[in-house]
Amino acid sequence: MVDIKNISDIEGLTSTDILNLFKETRAFKLLSTKAWNNRTDIFVNPIAFLRDISNDITDSISSAFDTDYWLLILGGSGAGKSTLSMAIYKHIMKNLGYTDEQIKNSIYLDFCYLPYDYLGRIMLHEKQIQEKGKSFPHPIILDDAYHLFGVFNRGITGTTRKLLDKIWEIGEYRLAHIVNNQFSLQLAQRAIMRMHSLIILWKEPISIGSNETPNMEETYLSYVKNLLNKSQETNSNNKDVDFLWGAFYGKDKAYKVMGYITKNQGNIGEVDILAKFTPDYIFPMLLTLHEISDLRKAYKDIKDCSLSIIDYYRNAEKLKIKGSHKCLFLRILIELNKNFDRITDKVDSKGFYKVNPPLDFKIRNKKDFDALQDIGDIHLEPPIKQTRKIYKDSTYIKETYSESPKIKIYSINSYIYYFLKNCHETLEKRSQLYERLY
């Protein structure tokens, strides 16, 4: 039995302890038990694993050569992909000298869920490189990467193609990409080719009180109670829980494993991979959940905000925002959020919430204006003609030009109003991601 009372108990787990836990899994029972029975060399302490992989990534992006690093984490729903991504991110940030408070703030810029999050994050890093005069190491998280690099039913979208081109141009930026994705969803081959290492996560079922998996049950119950401060009520409604596990494949094996997954997508599971490719390490993923307790609020804020934006994109009855205008829409959300104090709780005759005083916003052309019609009551302002002096043919002459067209926003619809109300602080912290987009 393994009774987890504190972090020291996790740090004290040996390879033999972890192998004994693993022997209760369905994975172990389906594998060749003779080959795995005494393989203590591949079973590693979860905290030591986090520390070691984070150190390896930090060393890679901090080396004498300007290079990046890509880690792919695959797993099913609820297997802990986002949690592990944030735990590794946090360890790398600490290696780079950031404090806990700085990490809690930085993750709002470093956690990318939408394609334009990632484009904006690259642009921000480019700006910071220019300011510093050199590239510098930094980790970012690409969560549910299917939104960024996925192969969809109709192939690859224009935005995805743009991202796939971009990731081959930024190799010297020293960015550590911590990428996670659903095991069953296919990523484009150009994205897979960037990966240096791979982690497979999966869930092992435990039936509390059945005595079928006593070691995992004791470890699970004590860990959840003492480190996550949650109690597991053993009633008929929640006897079935999951013990999370992970398998790591380093550079020598990762690409072969990813090729096998791509070729057999939808026809294989995690155990099939373990059987065909022996991992470099196996670790009890469950025992890392406490690592990101201080980052969970940021994660929820970002995810809620991102999912609301996706919902608006998809629901034609709310906002008819399509294609390239999604980027414009994000910029207008940021501008409205910056002027949040102008948005009143008073409505006009159409039921839109008034903006007082009205807000000016520059656009490119009338197509932009047409695309934004449904956000509320907006008017297209005629371009103002200006004059300026230019030097031509050895003399100064006056030139007449027109400013960029702009719209004036008098009111916004209820969907944007409530979105800004609920996501105001999150958008404020993530505004730098969208300011350079057009």
Query: Could you tell me the residue ranges of all domains in the chain?
Result: 7-294, 315-433
pLDDT over 70 (residue 373): yes
Mean residue pLDDT of the chain comes to 89
* Tokens representing residue 77 in the block: 């729903």
Reported confidence tier of residue 318, pLDDT bands at 50, 70, 90: low
**Bridge partners for 379 per DSSP:** 408
Cα-based distances in Å from 329 to 85, 162, 356: 29, 19, 20
pLDDT higher than threshold 70 for residue 70? yes
CB of 74 closer than 8 Å to CB of 183: yes
Residue 157: band (very low, low, confident or very high) from pLDDT cuts 50, 70, 90: low
Q: What share of the chain is helix, strand, coil (3-state, %, to 5)?
A: 50, 20, 30
pLDDT digit string, tens, across residues 164-197:
888 988 989 999 999 999 998 889 898 999 999 9
Highest mean pLDDT among 89-98, 165-174, 316-325: 89-98
How large is the average pLDDT for residues 16-31?
Answer: 91
Mean pLDDT computed over 228-239: 64
- pLDDT(309) > 90: no
Amino acid at 199: I
Asked if pLDDT for residue 269 goes beyond 90, the answer is no
Provide the angle, in degrees to the nearest 10, between the axes of the packed helices 325-338 and 115-132: 70
Which segments of 382-434 are extended strands (E)?
385-392, 395-402, 406-412
Task: Please say if the pLDDT value at position 33 is more than 80.
Answer: no
Provide the β-strand partners of residue 205. 242
Compute the average pLDDT of residues 305-309: 90
CA separation for the pair 121, 129 (Å, rounded): 12
376 in Cβ contact with 368 (< 8 Å): no
CA–CA distances in Å: residue 387 to residues 69, 401, 403, 407 = 50, 6, 10, 22
Fold of 7-294: Rossmann fold (3.40.50)
Is the pLDDT score of 323 beyond 80?
no
Statement: residue 312 has pLDDT above 50:
yes
Residue 50 has pLDDT above 80, yes or no: yes
pLDDT at 385 over 90: no
- How many angstroms separate the Cα of 277 from the Cα of each of 37, 81, 242, 258? 16, 21, 24, 11
**pLDDT band for position 236 (50/70/90)?**
very low
Q: Is the pLDDT of residue 319 over 80?
A: no
Helices (H), 356-396: 366-371
Cα–Cα distance for residue pair 15/20, rounded to 1 Å: 9
| pLDDT, tens digit (0-9, with 9 covering 90-100), for 190-210 | 899 999 999 999 999 998 888
pLDDT at 233: 54
* Residues, the chain: 438
Q: Which residue has the tokens 């600490």?
A: 94
